[in-house]
Amino acid sequence: MLTNYSRRTFLETIGLSMGASILLPASTLPDRARADRKLNVALCGLGRYANVLKRGFAESRHCRLAGIVTGTPAKAAQWQQEFKLPAQNVYTYETFDQLRNNPDIDLIYITLPNGLHKDYTIRAAQAGKHVIVEKPMAFTVPDCRAMIDACRKAGVQLAVGYRLHYEPHHIELKRLGQQKVFGPVRLIEASLGYQLAGTPPDDWHLKKAIAGGGALMNLGVYCIQSARYVLGEEPISVTAQYSPVTMPQLFREVEENITWQLTFPSGAVNTSATTANCNIDRFYASADNGFFELSPALSYGPFQGRSSQGPFNFPVVNQQAALLDDVASHILAHKPLPAHIAGEEGLKDMRVIEGIYRAADSGNKITLPPL
């Protein structure tokens, strides 16, 4: 049974129990003046995930929701009232670029459909604002590079919303894998799928021009991430297969189901599946002298798992609040963001996603290009 400790209790205890190598959000800032300040964030796109982020902002110690960007007047009025936002901090997509003139906004968090990530990240950077962009970062590796370059040129920082790096079960998976607690990991199985049969046919996730792809872009990125950070390696080749479409009325433009197999320099293999026709949410790793697993594993949790040494018993934390606080702590301290959430991490996932699509389209084993 998982115990619902507070985030503060978790941050105070996990460092003692798991060692200094674990990456955690900074709990203090360099001086009291900076510690008392919060990073002011404007949320761009008020869809489904923006509503998940509401609780993250409520529990964040170092971030404040200070502005919004939306094309829907009713949403603007609702969010403005709920968060007591001044009128000058409420923007439409047409007035987005005017954010450059607002010193009360430090960072823009982009939760728009995938196809808009590149454009709004670059425009946010040109407005002089730091950026968090949701995953998948963009459609292609060159798009990711353009976003990274634009932020670097503007002197702002770019993060990708990799919330699971702050979740204690995943911190433990990373420790067990990278420190070879049970010896080298030989096989990882990671799968994520949701039943989307009732999805409206005009949902943007079903439109290639705005989504970029189907289940792989929407869910598969979590499977790719978990294999990469548990092994601490970058895959070198991939094979992949599309599965039969069961809902042709919905999946005319993007894939409904796809499976893939990654090989890594150590010889480890990752096999994954992602789907829109059933619910699956699991992770399993087999090493020379043991195993570790989670189920649920890659969604919002609460997660449950075990290893060869017994069941996990970690606290529940708000993943979004932990991500926000770590980004804010680094930016307020004028420090570069940690590599596991920086823009380059999103580029690495996109390199694999592109390879999976090429392998599935061609039926061939694809050697992934060097980074």
- pLDDT tens digits for range 124-149: 999 999 999 999 999 999 999 999 99
DSSP lists the bridge partners of residue 132 as: 109, 159
Catalytic residue, from 38, 135, 174, 348: name it. Answer: 135
The answer to whether position 334 is within a domain reads no
Query: What pTM was computed for the model?
Result: 0.90
The answer to whether position 18 is within a domain reads yes
Residues 298, 193 share a domain: yes
Residues 61, 158 share a domain: yes
* Owner of token pair 């061609």: 362
Tell me the percentage of the chain whose pLDDT exceeds 70: 90
Residues 287, 240 share a domain: yes
162-213 pLDDT per residue, tens: 999 999 999 999 999 999 999 999 999 999 999 988 899 999 999 999 999 9
| 110 neighbors 124 (Cβ within 8 angstroms) | yes
The answer to whether position 282 is within a domain reads yes
* Known active-site residue 180: no
Q: Encode 320-353: b = buried (16+ Cβ within 10 Å), e = exposed.
A: bbbbbbbbbbbbbeeeebbebbbbbbbbbbbbbb
Cα 315 to Cα 199: distance, rounded to the nearest angstrom: 33
The pLDDT mean for the chain works out to 91
Residues 272, 217 share a domain: yes
Count: domains in the chain: 2
Cα 133 to Cα 110: distance, rounded to the nearest angstrom: 5
Band (pLDDT 50/70/90 cuts) for residue 107 is very high
pLDDT at position 35: 52
* Known active-site residue 118: no
Whether the predicted pLDDT of 60 surpasses 80 = yes
Band (pLDDT 50/70/90 cuts) for residue 37 is confident
- For residue 211, the domain's CATH number is 3.30.360.10
Residue after which a domain boundary falls, among 163, 190, 212: 163
Catalytic residue, from 222, 229, 348, 357: name it. Answer: 222
Residues 188, 61 share a domain: no
| 135 neighbors 161 (Cβ within 8 angstroms) | yes
Q: Which of 193-197, 232-236, 324-328 has the lowest mean pLDDT?
A: 193-197
Distances (CA, A) of 332 to 21, 78, 196, 315, 327: 23, 29, 40, 27, 9
Residues 114, 191 share a domain: no
Question: Residue 26 is part of which domain span?
Answer: 7-163
- For residue 82, the domain's CATH number is 3.40.50.720
The answer to whether position 125 is within a domain reads yes
